[in-house]
Structure 1
Amino acid sequence: MVEKTGRPAYLQIVDELSEEIRTGSLPPGTALPSIARLCERFDVSASVVKAAISVLRTQGLVIGQQGKGVFVNQAPASAEPQPAGETGEILTQLAAMRESLKDLGDRLAALESAVFQGRR
């Protein structure tokens, strides 16, 4: 279930599914649960689950097969060759921005927790 930490729900889902992929709970080639099942599991809407899956695709952790589902990628994302030139530079910048946004989300959650803990 997604927690009310200030961190977007779709990123919490990304974190959890990424961890399951990394640890082998979801091995390469395994189909992700359906969107409906993920909605039930995390108690969120389909649009939140779809946003999380989109991030996982961008990270290279999963691949979609039209009409079949979304599967854990066979090759680890870090083993994929990095594009050269301008595309590689853009992807590197996007990865840095994604990490910065994650850090800002974590810091905001900690700040909100500190500010609002006395008001609950």
Structure 2
Amino acid sequence: MVKNTGRPGYLQIADDLRAQIRGGSLAPGTPLPSTTQLAEQYDASLSVVKMAVGILRNEGLVIGQQGKGVFVRDIDDTPAAGDIAGEVANLRSAVQDLSARLAKVEEQLATSTTRRSGRSSR
């Protein structure tokens, strides 16, 4: 459960999931619970859970598989700090994630702008 500590909920969730991964209770190859399940478990919104999982994805601890879910990566497969190819892969993943999020925001803005202009013409 997310606690009212002043620390953002998504960081608390990411910290807890990270500890479970590093502690071995979420083993490599294990799927994370669904976003809905995590939201219920932590008593948080879906967007907060998605941000937490995004942090773990950017850190290389989990990997998403389209249509299948998000899985814990094998720690041996995560790039070393000096591994440039691994860092580039992490950056590409982060850019793809941000691009998808930006596209959603732009779509929402376009929809809200269309609604407003439709109302003002009546």
TM-score scaled by length of structure 1? 0.66
- One-letter amino acid of the structure 1 residue matched with residue 41 of structure 2: R
Q: CA shift at 1:51, angstroms?
A: 0.2
Aligned to 1:27: 27
CA-CA distance at 1:75 after TM superposition: 3.1
Deviations 1:27-72 (A, max 9, x none): 0000000001000000000000000010000000000000000000
Q: Give distance in 2, aligned partners of 1:80 and 1:67.
A: 30
Aligned partner of 1:37 in structure 2 is 37
CA distance in 2, matches of 1:78, 1:18: 16
- How many residues get paired? 87
Q: TM-score, normalised by structure 2?
A: 0.65
* 2:102 matched residue in structure 1: none
| Structure 1 letter corresponding to 2:36 | A
Q: Aligned partners of 1:20, 1:79: CA distance in 2, in Å? A: 20
Q: Tell whether 2:52 aligns with 1:55.
A: no
TM-aligned CA deviation for residue 74 of structure 1: 1.7
Partner SS, residue 64 of structure 1: strand
CA 1:80 to 1:32, structure 2 compared with 1: closer, same or farther past 3 Å? farther
- Aligned-residue sequence identity (percent) comes to 58
CA distance in structure 2 between the partners assigned to 1:75 and 1:12 by the alignment? 21
**SS of residue in 1 equivalent to 2:29:** coil
Q: Which has the larger radius of gyration?
A: 2
How far does the alpha carbon of each residue in 1:54-105 deviate from its partner, in whole angstroms, 9 at most, with x for none?
0000000000000000000023436476217xx6xxx8xxxxxxxxxxxxxx
Query: Which stretch shows the higher mean deviation, 29-38 or 69-78?
Result: 69-78
Please, which runs of 5 or more residues in structure 2 have no aligned partner? Answer: 92-122
- Secondary structure of the equivalent of 1:5? coil
Letter in 2 for 1:12: Q
